[in-house]
Amino acid sequence: MALEVPYRSIPDMLFQRVAKTPDAQALAGPNASDTGMDWLTWRQVGERVRAIGAGLRELGVGLEDRVAILSSTRLEWILADLGINVAGAAATTVYPTTEPEDTAFIVADSGSKVLIAENPKQALKIAGMENALTKVVLIDGTADAGATPPQITLAELEALGAAALQREPSLIDDVVAELGPENIATLIYTSGTTGRPKGVELLHRAWTWEGVAQEDLGLFSPTDLHYLWLPMSHAFGKTLLCGILHVGVPTYVDGRVDKLIDLLAVIRPTLMCAPPRIFEKVYNKTVTSGLSGTGLKPKIFTWAVATGKKKVALEQAGKPVPAGLKAQYAIAEKLVFSKLQAKLGGNLRVLVSGSAALSRDIAEFFAAANLPILEGYGMTEASAANFVNRRGRLKIGSVGEALGDLEVRIDTDGEVLLRGAPVMRGYHNLPEATAEAFTEDGFLRTGDIGELDAEGFLRITDRKKDLVKTSGGKFIAPSAIEGAFKAVCPYTSQAIVVGQSRNFVTMLITLDEDAIAGWAAEGPLAGKSYAEIVAAPETHKLVEGYLAELNSKLNRWETVKKFTILPRDLSIEAGEVTPSMKIKRRSVETNFAEQIEKMYEGSLAQI
């Protein structure tokens, strides 16, 4: 049945929300002392967004013009994004960690007329570059009117817009009346694991569909408190914003990842979405802490986790949990899991994971702790939210069921194909790439290999292009092996399987600095630097033990024969991971070619 969407555009969705609940809490940011939240009501959000939109119109921004945002996630990001849309324009999103060369490319390729930058340092990334910019708007810092292009502050832009609205009160209403479902709303450049980023053209119909489809999941409620820290430059953040607008979810906005875990106890949200990396960090910290020390503490922790997993296994199999196990679990929750729940604020009722594969073992651990993670799946090219598990219908190891009326088909080679309202119009200025992205009957090629079960739950097995074929002709799914290793080794930061056209599988490993330092502090490596710890024989022996545990669970041809612990973690700056923390395998293998070749020395006879 077709999903009913009662909106023509994102501004229509916003202003209907303002009209329904004008005085309800809408969006908050950190207060001046960083000890709590400063709230805006929906009425205040509407007023500021109108002023920003009118200000952009005064700068010459028109229908479907592009305005770029180069900033970290913060309240002003959302106000700017909505302001761009109410001006009739499309937002070009740029990650704040993007290097100047790619920033310049995105701004120029998109044809953006105005850049909204977080501060003068971010604005410098486009200095001296050829583009169509006529103005730079600074969220923070002092504007330089003599710069090229000239700068103004966000406050000045809002004042400009307020004056325009006084002269012409219907300015924004008239613009919004022009907007329809087929107008472009957002241009998001995929960070991509190879080559130049491609601009994904997403229409108003895609985002309004997302908002309505998310309500039907039962994950969002006006009584929730949502902690939004995800990069708004990513489609995952934008799609959540649409759910927030449609449902009216009070949302705290703060992109400071380094403060995330500490602030959870202060903000005490009921709802949070994150990529697997955040859950991996919490898991690593919890497991290493739980197993540390002597006496009863590690034994109680191990027992509690085993008890929780028994309960979860029965629930997943659709079987009743015996009274005795329920009683044991109540003790485990009181002694162990309640402490983890309290560290995450104590109120979380919904955790959602997306943007990369979540390890089954980590999903089982959180479910055992009564913090079930609802894993989802989607693509930037399909507005990010396409599948997700529901509360009460969680199937661990799957990414859940399709949202709304999204069509899904599995191709003959196992590739997942999608068709429906959230799918992109195409890649900006790339007709050939757009044509290649679709089947003849209009399905989007996701590039992911997956399986649909009889109940409509999707399981992603790997990326089509990431499958590794050894010289023995065996296919290996790297992400499955990497995820399994992260689950058995709580000190892991990243794991990269190598084996394409090789006669055995190897692995590059980086260690979590905090976790491995905690382990080292209890032995002869106490006080050593990170570089010294990862190079030590004791650390090699530690990781070797976890690798043996991993290999015991793998097919013979999948087993990892050799490994190398890298002297540093992978980084965005070195081009090894994308801003959404997806591994760029080709770049990693190029940057660490010497270490890889050393693992394969002597594997072939030398002539």
Residue 99 has pLDDT above 80, yes or no: yes
pLDDT band at 605 (very low <50, low <70, confident <90, very high): very low
- Domain end, chosen from 463, 488, 515, is at 463
Which pLDDT does position 402 carry in this prediction? 97
Place of tokens 């033990």: 545
Q: Can you tell me the mean pLDDT for 523-549?
A: 93
pTM, to two decimals:
0.84
- Judge if 502 and 429 occupy the same domain: no
- Judge if 447 and 298 occupy the same domain: yes
- Domain end, chosen from 407, 435, 463, is at 463
- Judge if 372 and 416 occupy the same domain: yes
Query: Collapsing DSSP states into helix, strand and coil, what is residue 532?
Result: helix
pLDDT in tens, 26-60: 999 999 988 889 999 999 999 999 999 999 999 99
Amino acid identity for residue 481 in this structure: I
Rounded distance, CA 407 to CA 401, Å?
11
Residue 37 within a domain: no
Residue 607 has pLDDT above 60, yes or no: no
pLDDT band at 134 (very low <50, low <70, confident <90, very high): very high
Nearest to 245 by CA among 418, 85, 380: 85
pLDDT band at 601 (very low <50, low <70, confident <90, very high): confident
> Higher-confidence residue: 387 or 357?
387
Residue 111 within a domain: yes
- Judge if 498 and 526 occupy the same domain: yes
Q: Of 63-72, 190-199, 260-269, 511-520, give the lowest mean pLDDT range.
A: 190-199
Task: Please report, rounded to a whole number, the percentage of residues in the chain having pLDDT higher than 70.
Answer: 98
Residue 393 has pLDDT above 80, yes or no: yes
C-alpha separations of 28 from 39, 40, 117, 222, 264 in Å: 4, 6, 20, 15, 14
Q: Residues 522, 292: contact at Cβ < 8 Å? A: yes
Residue 586 has pLDDT above 70, yes or no: yes
Q: Can you tell me the mean pLDDT for 156-173?
A: 98
CATH number at residue 559: 3.30.300.30
- Judge if 510 and 428 occupy the same domain: no
Q: Residues 220, 249: contact at Cβ < 8 Å? A: yes
Tokens (6 digits) for 314: 């029965």
- Judge if 426 and 301 occupy the same domain: yes
Residue 196 has pLDDT above 80, yes or no: no
CATH number at residue 316: 3.40.50.12780
Residue 199 within a domain: yes
pLDDT in tens, 240-254: 999 999 999 999 999
Tokens (6 digits) for 347: 């109120």
Place of tokens 């194909």: 417
Residue 520 within a domain: yes
Q: Can you tell me the mean pLDDT for 510-517?
A: 92
Q: Can you tell me the mean pLDDT for 302-315?
A: 97
pLDDT band at 604 (very low <50, low <70, confident <90, very high): very low
Residue 434 has pLDDT above 90, yes or no: yes
Torsion of CA 144, 147, 150, 154, to 10 degrees: -30
Amino acid identity for residue 76 in this structure: E
- Judge if 456 and 442 occupy the same domain: yes
CATH number at residue 137: 3.40.50.980
Query: Collapsing DSSP states into helix, strand and coil, what is residue 13?
Result: helix
Tokens (6 digits) for 548: 């043996």
pLDDT band at 293 (very low <50, low <70, confident <90, very high): confident
Quick one: CA dihedral 338, 342, 346, 348, positive or negative? negative
pLDDT in tens, 410-425: 999 999 999 999 999 9
183 CA to centre of own chain: 26
Q: Residues 231, 95: contact at Cβ < 8 Å? A: yes
Q: Which domain holds residue 363?
A: 272-346+348-463
Residue 475 has pLDDT above 90, yes or no: no
- Judge if 354 and 439 occupy the same domain: yes
User: Hey, how many other C-beta atoms are within 10 angstroms of the C-beta on 5?
Assistant: 19
Residue 405 within a domain: yes
Rounded distance, CA 416 to CA 64, Å?
31
- Domain end, chosen from 414, 433, 463, is at 463
Q: Residues 400, 387: contact at Cβ < 8 Å? A: yes
Nearest to 78 by CA among 134, 152, 28: 28
Total domain count for the chain? 3
Nearest to 233 by CA among 182, 197, 179, 262: 197
C-alpha separations of 143 from 52, 53, 66, 159, 471 in Å: 17, 19, 21, 15, 59
Nearest to 131 by CA among 143, 118, 115: 115
Judge if the upstream peptide bond of residue 422 is cis by omega within 30 degrees of 0.
no
Q: Residues 484, 361: contact at Cβ < 8 Å? A: yes
Residue 381 within a domain: yes
Sheet containing strand 151-153, edge to edge, reads: 151-153, 135-138, 114-117, 66-70, 90-94, 184-190, 198-203, 426-427
Which pLDDT does position 438 carry in this prediction? 97
- Judge if 383 and 513 occupy the same domain: no
Which pLDDT does position 195 carry in this prediction? 62
Residue 39 within a domain: no
Task: Please report, rounded to a whole number, the percentage of residues in the chain having pLDDT higher than 90.
Answer: 76
- Judge if 179 and 62 occupy the same domain: yes
pLDDT in tens, 59-98: 999 999 999 999 999 999 999 999 999 999 999 999 998 8
- Judge if 520 and 386 occupy the same domain: no
Amino acid identity for residue 202 in this structure: L
Residue 534 has pLDDT above 60, yes or no: yes
Residue 385 within a domain: yes
Residue 606 has pLDDT above 50, yes or no: no
104 membership: H or E segment, kind and range: helix 100-110
Arithmetic mean of pLDDT over the chain: 93
- Judge if 451 and 484 occupy the same domain: no
pLDDT in tens, 458-473: 999 877 777 777 766 7
Rounded distance, CA 326 to CA 306, Å?
13
Q: Residues 246, 17: contact at Cβ < 8 Å? A: yes
